[in-house]
Structure 1
Amino acid sequence: MTLPALFRPLELGGMTLRNRITIAPMCQYSAENGCMSDWHLIHLGQLALSGAALLTIEATAVVPEGRITYGDVGLWDDASEKAMERVLNGVRAWSDMPIGIQLAHAGRKASTEKPWLGGKQISADRQNGWRTEAPSALAFAEGDDAPVEMSKERLIEVRNAFAAAAKRAARLGLDFIQIHGAHGYLLHQFLSPLSNRREDEYGGSLENRMRFPLEVFDAVRAAFPADRPVTMRLSGTDWVDGGWDIESTITPCKALESRGCAAINMSSGGLDPRQSIPTSPGYQVPLARAVKQACNIPVVAVGLITNYDHAEAIVATGDADLIGLARGILYDPRWPWHAAAHLGAQVEAAPQYLRSQPHQFRGLFKSK
């Protein structure tokens, strides 16, 4: 019997993935001063038993000012590193799933309330708020405080903070790094002409707007062990006329490939409240397809991929090499099990769970 495409192994930057199902980084807004809590142990622990190929820790700020909310995870000092080490030790005691981290800076979208408390920006003069920073002094939404335009000296500091966090990630034994260049956060803000109005070498032309994100990638790649992959997440479009689009995206993707980027994770939107997104199952897959056709490194497709046959088709047709699950795997933490049962494949399962195997799907589980 031919193995379904979704469950074929894949080499990714020196890692051998068991299948093509990845767990995307998902913010939990449950840290204290950047330090992971028991919630993260429970959350990541259950996902690490899901049968997916790899797990990515949520957007992790490289400086305190780079957090989306005051509840975001960070990796900027010894305390945040130690807290993450504790969580990782707990997860690794029961799972050998590769675990990576998404390093991030929220830029002008920082200093906000937790989503379930409204998600609005918190001004610097209020509790849990701080002054945001960005490529240009342009507020994200009407009524928000304008960010401080980052000086060249500050760009160097933030670039070095990404590298320092990468070194901490290496000490923690994390298997890969994903750099967050999507969803309207700092690196995406540099890329898009809607948010980058600089008049120096970091603004204006596409080449200039790409400069800082590529400098960050180079710094992280140099700081992280050469035998472990560094990947990047990008928004393929702002969904706003005159903004970032998929044609623009291809250029930095090719530049990243030449610099040793191991994979591109294709998402979209998040930069401008005027965005008009035609959401439907797989609505971002054409963005992944365009990058896949232009580059020779693995591409991850994300966005409303919930149906097993749909996920199989995305990989089988070559639109992308892997799929990323986020909300779908929060709703169904055993999605890879169910996909394997549906498609006639196998997943690894903890021996404690082997007896849950339905009789009609004998052979579904491979014991660890």
Structure 2
Amino acid sequence: MTFPPIQEQLDLITRNTVEVISEEELKKKLEKSSLTGQPLKVKLGADPSRPDLHLGHSVVLRKLRDFQDLGHQAILIIGDFTAMIGDPSGKSKTRPQLSAEEARRNGETYFEQASKILDPSRTTICYNSEWLGSMNFSDVIRLSSHYTVARMLERDDFERRYQAREPISLHEFLYPLAQGMDSVHLKNDIELGGTDQKFNLLVGRDLQREYDIAPQVCITMPLLVGTFGEEKMSKSLGNAISFSDTPQDMYGRTLSIPDDLIETYFRLLVPHPETPAHLFMEIIRQNPREAKRTLAREIVSLYHSRTEAVKAEEHFDRVFVQKKAPEDIPEFSFDSPSMPLVDLLIELNAVKSKSEARRLIQQNAVQIDDEKIGSIDHEVTLGNEARIIKSGKRKFFKVTRK
């Protein structure tokens, strides 16, 4: 197999990375690959504790796609076994463990979503329960003998918890060892991860040496800051833009990011922009609002289409700039001549619970025909003429009586 020139590969691989351990070893592996015609085995581990992927996951997935585009082998590890341990990375307390069924079920959707970025025909997918699940207790003892407690406590989050006298369970020490065994089993050349995974990646590198395997090169990628501009993107923090978001939601959430994140999002999330990078930087300086709109169109185009991106922008302008209702509002009909507003929001699936409905109403976030409703006891009258219900910023419904 023929690969691009070494420097061309290095330029693409190191672009946007935080750390490569080490670049010299990476270059040697690329040189050997070019000489032998054998692609490098590049591993990315995925902990399926949450089944929905968001743009934060895309940063490292796009780096894996870079390796694919260069002709190397991408290996996506669904950590169904390690998810039952719970990754302690960046955690201030013990993370809840998943059952085998939960981990496998969540992992089933991971590859489908990751294929929006990866080339599925050139991706090897593995579940680490295939080899970790067959280890017996003596195997675990033997594995544990390769690492000391002192080395484990060098890890920042463990050290903080130890100093604060917060409990650290023994099974948490096993997580990086189990992840490291993935590298021993696969004999991969390179492992990718976010900066919060550096310790785990280095454990894999150390264990490969212990098992007389050429140590992997570790490449860390930046953690994407969420839409609020403070903490890293996370579904649990409500600051995420998901792969599965509608074009309208994806566009709107991108516009909500602080101005100082526009350049970072463009650099990390848009691999082949329609607008050249140097022109986009100029737009940021002259008109941050327009730059954000350009960024939002680029992101929606990646996960949906250019056509959907244009429609999402038109929807946003109509609803949030012109303050009009969207053109394609879902319609619902009910038998009753009237209905409590709280119950109606539940029926429309506008909210998940009555408490959420009451909270929205009390925050003046619910409107009927452009009139804000502040009473949680409000009764909605239904007739032949459609009434427009607006829940929150982006949800609209037409309701009538049957």
Shared fold per TM-score greater than 0.5 = no
Q: Name the structure, 1 or 2, with higher relative contact order (CA <8 Å, separation 6+).
A: 1
Structure 1 length as normaliser, TM-score?
A: 0.29
Q: Per residue, is there more helix in 1 or in 2?
A: 2
Q: Return the index of the structure with the highest Cα Rg.
A: 2
Structure 2 length as normaliser, TM-score?
A: 0.27
